Each structure stands twice: as structure tokens, then as C-alpha cells.
């Protein structure tokens, strides 16, 4: 278990990193008691996933600095 919340952004059709494997890892993190925010991105371009999730990622980071509770997607994974 990690003390800090976790953010994962994954393209659904990523040819390099398999979305089902990433989702399985996220579920494992949840079962260990972690707070996991899972952003599922349309498309399959691995090289653009960081840019594609930038707005959501920056909002997530801003919430951490503002001491807002981290949203967890564990129940829907």
C-alpha cells in the first residue's frame, strides 16, 4: 500500500501498453488499499497519452496541492 494516491492514464487501444493489463494492475493496487484514479483515454496512441490526459492530470495534481481528497475509481474498475 502506498501513502499517496495514484493516477493512471491509459489509452484504450494502446498497441504498446495493453489496457487490460494496466486495468488489472490498477485493480491489484485497489485491493491493496490504494486510492487509484484511472483515466481511460479514447484511441490507441501510446506516444500521445500524456498530452491527451494533461488537463485531467493537472487538475488531479492541483487537487493534491489544495489538500482535496483524491477521487478513487476502484469501485468501477
C-alpha grid cell, residue 56: 485531467
Res 14: pLDDT: 96
For residue range 14-57, what is the model confidence (pLDDT) as tens digits? Answer: 999 999 999 999 999 999 999 999 999 998 889 999 999 999 99
Res 44: pLDDT: 83
Res 73: pLDDT: 98
pTM for the full predicted model: 0.92
State how far the alpha carbon of 37 is from the alpha carbons of 11, 19, 54, in Å. 14, 15, 14
Amino acid at each position: 500500500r502506498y501513502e499517496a494516491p495514484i493516477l493512471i492514464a491509459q489509452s484504450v487501444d494502446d498497441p504498446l501498453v495493453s489496457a487490460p493489463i494496466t486495468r488489472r494492475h490498477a485493480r491489484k493496487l485497489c485491493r491493496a488499499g490504494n486510492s487509484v484514479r484511472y483515466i481511460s483515454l479514447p484511441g490507441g496512441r501510446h506516444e500521445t497519452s500524456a498530452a491527451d490526459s494533461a488537463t485531467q492530470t493537472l487538475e488531479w495534481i492541483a487537487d493534491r496541492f489544495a489538500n482535496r481528497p483524491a477521487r478513487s475509481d476502484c469501485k468501477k474498475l
